[in-house]
Structure 1
Amino acid sequence: MTIGAALALFTGLSTSAQAASGDFTYVNVNGDSFVLHNPQNGECFLLISGAKSAANRTNAKATVFAEHGCEGSRLTMQPNTSMTFAGADPHSVMFG
């Protein structure tokens, strides 16, 4: 019974800690390029100085948020899509 509980715990942890496979690239408001390689699902990543454009070349959806800390209005980018942001630049992203 203990082995079963340990296996269930291990399985539960491994699925929540999966990484999106691939790269998420973005260009910030200063024209600097950044890459998130195999980003962890469920973790909030800061988009330094806000993103003007982004390409989600991962196998997971990427949700970009207007504010730091993955808060505020949001847009979802499906896998293998790119987007140029008009108006408010997103400042964080979460995968999964």
Structure 2
Amino acid sequence: MRLRSALAAVLGAGVLIVTTAASASAAAGQFRYDYVTVEGYEASGFLNSPPNGQCLNLPGVGEDNPQPGHAPKNRTDAWATVFTDANCEGNSFTLRPHTGGASERLKLRSVVFN
């Protein structure tokens, strides 16, 4: 009977570790940026708790919009590398966690968090 209890405790701990590791794969916080819509309106875009290690093309500044995003603000707990082109291509700039930001002169279309 004790062997079953010990086995159940080990399995429970293993499930807890796997669950905790999976939730840690996202950058906690928010990444914000500004852009001009296709119609010419000022807008703000944001990503809440974005995944780590995955290239993200920013909504609103894709191929259908000739205007890139600008003035990014990294309020996540991970480093953010922004790129001038989609699919994390082109020139890049790194923003530190929590307080990283740049002026409207920095243009961007994609980002990856590390």
> What TM-score bracket applies, with the shorter chain setting the length?
0.7 to 0.9
Q: Is the 8 A contact 1:60 1:95 kept in 2?
A: yes
Query: What is the match of residue 9 of structure 2?
Result: none
More strand by share: 1
- Kindly state the Cα deviation for residue 85 of structure 1 after the two structures are TM-superposed: 3.9
- Kindly state the Cα deviation for residue 29 of structure 1 after the two structures are TM-superposed: 3.2
Structure 1 residues without counterparts, runs of 5 or longer:
1-6
| Alignment RMSD (CA, Å) | 2.0
**TM-score after normalising by structure 1:** 0.75
Secondary structure of the residue that 1:32 maps to in structure 2? strand
User: Which has the greater radius of gyration?
Assistant: 2
Q: Which portions of structure 1, spanning 4 or more consecutive aligned residues, are displaced by more than 2 angstroms? A: none
Structure 2 residues without counterparts, runs of 5 or longer:
1-13, 62-67
Q: In the comparison of the two structures, how many residue pairs are matched?
A: 84
1:49-88 equivalent positions in 2, closer than 5 A: 49=61, 50-79=68-97, 80-86=99-105
Secondary structure of the residue that 1:69 maps to in structure 2? helix
Looking at structure 1, the residues matched to 100 and 27 of structure 2 have their Cα atoms a distance apart, in angstroms, of: 14
- Kindly state the Cα deviation for residue 75 of structure 1 after the two structures are TM-superposed: 0.2
**TM-score after normalising by structure 2:** 0.65
- Kindly state the Cα deviation for residue 27 of structure 1 after the two structures are TM-superposed: 0.6
